[in-house]
Amino acid sequence: MPADRQNNEWKLAWSDEFNGADGTGPDPVKWSFDLGGGGFGNDEFETYTSRLKNVQQRDGNLVITAWKERYTGGDGIARWYTSGRIKSKGMFSQTYGRFEARMKLPLGKGIWPAFWLLGEDVGKVGWPQCGEIDVMENIGEASRIYSTVHGPGYSGGNGILAKFNLREGERVDDSFHTYAVEWEPERIRFFLDDALIVERTPKDLPAGTRWVYDHPFFVILNVAVGGFWPKYPDASTEFPQKMLVDYVRVYARAS
């Protein structure tokens, strides 16, 4: 399928092509920021900011940059790294469809880029009851990504995870790849460059747990530094680390 897949099967519902003027922030009509240095439940080491130094549009891409620098955010927490995390919460969410992003990833020990979806009701029911769909995560492996679903009874280290290896000779950090999920009632399929990674259905859930993917989800893009899963930067980790996002597109079934 072509990158622009508006056709008889799919109709574009929402997108950001990140074609704003160089040095401008993400479109405030489409995105807001998560801020602070509280670790975000994962013992992360960064402070997320809304500074252009960390999140800006440039050359037709969104650029999220992690820096090694001493910084204290508005929450008063001092950290040794900064980065960015943006979300469409309150501006766009959708139940079912195809969510895709074309990205070139950073790479290094302790660097944790992600493209993921979170249940819009997280403020009411909490996590993981709201559900989480991790379209793509990378934890410093040049040719491997992870796609995971989290829900009540199967979250965090017990999330239902699939790892996927890129084709021989391909890397996440030297070229752009398209990461996507196609989501419908009782079915979630993950893709990398249109290669199917895995399909999840209620049959994959642990006994006695619930499928929590039948309500609106919003989009999140971020680059974390450190955490329980990727571990932490060391002397081999170079900074700054940049994630380039060519676009995010969300489609609905044409029917």
Question: How many CB atoms are closer than 10 A to CB 132?
Answer: 21
Q: What is the Cα–Cα distance from 30 to 90, expressed in whole angstroms?
A: 9
CA–CA dist 37, 48 (Å, integer): 6
Distance separating alpha carbons of residues 236 and 228, to the nearest angstrom: 18
CA pair distance 241, 67, nearest whole angstrom? 7
26 C-beta neighbours (distance < 10 Å), count: 23
User: How far apart, in whole angstroms, are the C-alpha atoms of residue 30 and residue 247?
Assistant: 13
C-alpha distances (whole Å) from 191 to each of 4, 186, 218 are 15, 17, 19
- Residues assigned a catalytic role: 132, 137
Kind and range of the H or E run holding 82 = strand 78-83
Sign of CA dihedral 136, 137, 141, 142: positive
